[in-house]
Amino acid sequence: DDYELGGHSDFMRKEMAEQAEAIARALAGRLDERFATAHLGGLGLDPMALRAIKRVKFLGCGSAYYAGQMGATLVEELARIPADAEPASEFRYRNPVVDPDTLYVAISQSGETLDTLAAVQELRRKGGRVIGAVNVVGSAIARECGSGVFLHAGPEVSVASTKALTNMTVSFAMLGLLLGRVRDLSAASGQRIVAGLRALPERVARIVAEDAEIERIAKRFADARHMFFLGRVRGWPVAREGAQKLKEISYVHAEAYQAAELKHGPLALIDAEMPSVVIVPDDELLTKNIGTIEQIRARGGPVIAVTNADLPDGLADEVIRVPRGEPELDPILLTIPLQLLAYHTAKALGRDIDKPRNLAKSVTVE
Ligand code: AGP
């Protein structure tokens, strides 16, 4: 084990540190500067088939579902095709209407998650077109789908998924780019996304390497019994994934909410004992998110802002900064510090990082 850990204290730490090289592997040979697009040969779809796709639906469980939600936002933004995500665990039970013009994407690190496999089988029974976004080559979901995009994250041991999740969203950015470039995404915009993807490994490495500040913040709030994670649009699936990570490995109750929904009920929970992590991308919703932080603080709630924007001094109690990138790719970078926040909180509480209670790395039962 010591050898495999490569000097790291646990696999989650090691796998977070491997993210830059994992992203580089996912991008290798797939980005095309000249035509400002991505090549995803494993999809087996030519430009006419890509153009015929009218909708995209992502299916996955847990963090894979949240990655799918980030994927849906990316596909809608880059390709302007309606896209959404649904928990694979619900899909087969609700007698879904399967649409022949929809591209279904089954997402799974392990490729063995029973609920996701069952969703794929239901889709195939009904004649749906389903591709896989899978890490483990030769796994049940990869075989059942027969085509798709491999994540190339390398082996992931820690129950809490980090590098595989990151490579899911990186792959969906490439899918969005490809679908966009056979439609109305301009070459200039495509080039901007290609450059943004190329810059990701270095930016992610910087966040992981410079985590002393996140460790300090995690220790400051480690005694909290409950936490909110709030975000809008691009920040919303990021908030959901951040809450999931914290619950999973630290056992602190965390609830994710769309920032604008706060005033419709949950605002009543805000007090000095309820810290909120607010995801603040530097995008057109910046002033809305600043307003959310002001509302929380006016009611005595502590705020940790996770941002790539320049926020007014003193706006939040703590600020976790990430490097600026292309706005569409913000969810990828904004997710990384939340892994570290969960990790350092769990460490401060003395939890078993790699093997949280009651959980298995891959859920092969109903
Ligand atoms: C992630 O941190 C979780 N352990 C969990 O939600 C996981 O993403 C989910 O069980 C799906 O697993 P899969 O990607 O192997 O299908």
Q: So what's the ipTM on this one?
A: 0.98
The structure tokens listed for 81 are 């095709």
Band of pLDDT at residue 2, cut at 50, 70 and 90: low
Instruction: Summarize the confidence of residues 289-311 as an average pLDDT.
Output: 97
DSSP designation for 312: P
Instruction: Provide the pLDDT for residue 1.
Output: 52
**Amino acid identity at 244:** Q
Does the C-beta of 89 come closer than 6 Å to ligand 1? Answer: no
Give the separation between CA 67 and CA 82, rounded to whole angstroms: 17
Least confident of 12-26, 69-83, 351-365: 351-365
Ligand 1 centroid–CA 125 distance in Å is 25
Does the C-beta of 363 come closer than 6 Å to ligand 1? Answer: yes
Band of pLDDT at residue 87, cut at 50, 70 and 90: very high
Report the length, in residues, of the chain: 366
> For 144-171, what is each residue's pLDDT tens digit?
999 999 999 999 999 999 999 999 999 9
Instruction: Provide the pLDDT for residue 3.
Output: 59
Give the separation between CA 161 and CA 236, rounded to whole angstroms: 18
Does the C-beta of 63 come closer than 6 Å to ligand 1? Answer: yes
Does the C-beta of 115 come closer than 6 Å to ligand 1? Answer: no
To test the pocket of ligand 1, the residue of 12, 113, 365 to mutate (highest count of ligand atoms within 8 Å of its CB) is 113
To test the pocket of ligand 1, the residue of 69, 91, 109 to mutate (highest count of ligand atoms within 8 Å of its CB) is 109
User: Which strands, in side-by-side order, build the sheet including 129-134?
Assistant: 83-87, 55-60, 102-108, 129-134, 148-150
pTM: 0.96
Structural contact between residues 360 and 230, judged by C-beta atoms closer than 8 angstroms: no
Q: Looking at the predicted structure, is the pLDDT value of residue 313 above 70?
A: yes
Q: Which residues are known catalytic residues?
A: 361
Q: Looking at the predicted structure, is the pLDDT value of residue 366 above 90?
A: no
Give the separation between CA 144 and CA 148, rounded to whole angstroms: 11
Give the separation between CA 52 and CA 218, rounded to whole angstroms: 47
Question: 31-43 b/e with 16+ CB inside 10 Å = b?
Answer: beeeebbbebebb
Q: Looking at the predicted structure, is the pLDDT value of residue 327 above 70?
A: yes
Instruction: Summarize the confidence of residues 200-229 as an average pLDDT.
Output: 97
Instruction: Summarize the confidence of residues 259-271 as an average pLDDT.
Output: 94
- Which has the higher per-residue pLDDT, 219 or 356? 219
- State percent of the chain over pLDDT 70: 99
Give the separation between CA 173 and CA 180, rounded to whole angstroms: 10
- Which has the higher per-residue pLDDT, 28 or 1? 28
Does the C-beta of 52 come closer than 6 Å to ligand 1? Answer: no
Ligand 1 centroid–CA 170 distance in Å is 17
Instruction: Provide the pLDDT for residue 362.
Output: 83
Ligand 1 centroid–CA 342 distance in Å is 16
Ligand 1 centroid–CA 58 distance in Å is 14
